Structure 1
Amino acid sequence: MRARIAWRSDDPGMVVTCDEELRWAPAEAEGDAGRRPLIAEVVHENGDSLLVGLGREISVLSYVGASKNPPYFSSRGSSRSQDGEAVVFFYFGHWSEFPASATVSAEEAVEAARFFIECGELSPRVDWVEV
């Protein structure tokens, strides 16, 4: 397991190589997100990246493969989230808006990020849609 997690534009982030770092890094990012909801970027050693919304009860996930070419994937929430308002997170110096249809629970998102770091794959527990 090896990945880099970054969530500040002025910091290269932290490298995750073991279970202890896997517990600590997302917790530090979530601590920062308590001041302002933010997007953390998780880049797996294979080059794939996963964006994770932190700091709200709901979250969003967005996946881009190492090639940076399509297909891209986004989380898809339950049917009750389809008509809600867009949700915003701070992403490396800018506010970014995501559709309500992409929202999942914060717990689901953090677990999906851990799975991604450990396995280098998208979590099968999340409903993914190609965007």
Structure 2
Amino acid sequence: MHRLHHNCLSCGNKLTGRTDKKYCDPLCKSSHQYQKTKEQPERFYNKVDNQLRLNRRILKEYNKAGKAIVRETILVKEGFDPNFFTHYWKNKKGDVYLFVYEYGFLKRMEHDIEKFVLIKWQDYMSK
């Protein structure tokens, strides 16, 4: 039998022992597997979860008073993605606010500029 791997796939040290050996020891094997897993594309769940958390953090940051109006471009530049939200609420006028947990937003044109009206969830919205 000839040797396929001459060096450890993790640390690069020369291997001794079995001809089909790929790693020096269990630590190198574990380290290499971890690196491979990290390089794989994120699973869909993680991607959605991370975006929701980022959206919430951004909405919270720009809505300290409970209501605010912010240019869409500002939020998007921060990483905000309006396609990721947890639920919605429709007011009596028919406006549909999209929410990321307790922080809501409504897209609105104002003087030819796309803006978001930011609000915070209130108890009366549950009714």
TM-score range (shorter-chain normalised) is under 0.3
TM-score by length of 2: 0.22
Higher relative contact order (CA 8 A, sep 6+): 1
Higher helix share: 2
TM-score by length of 1: 0.22
Higher strand share: 1
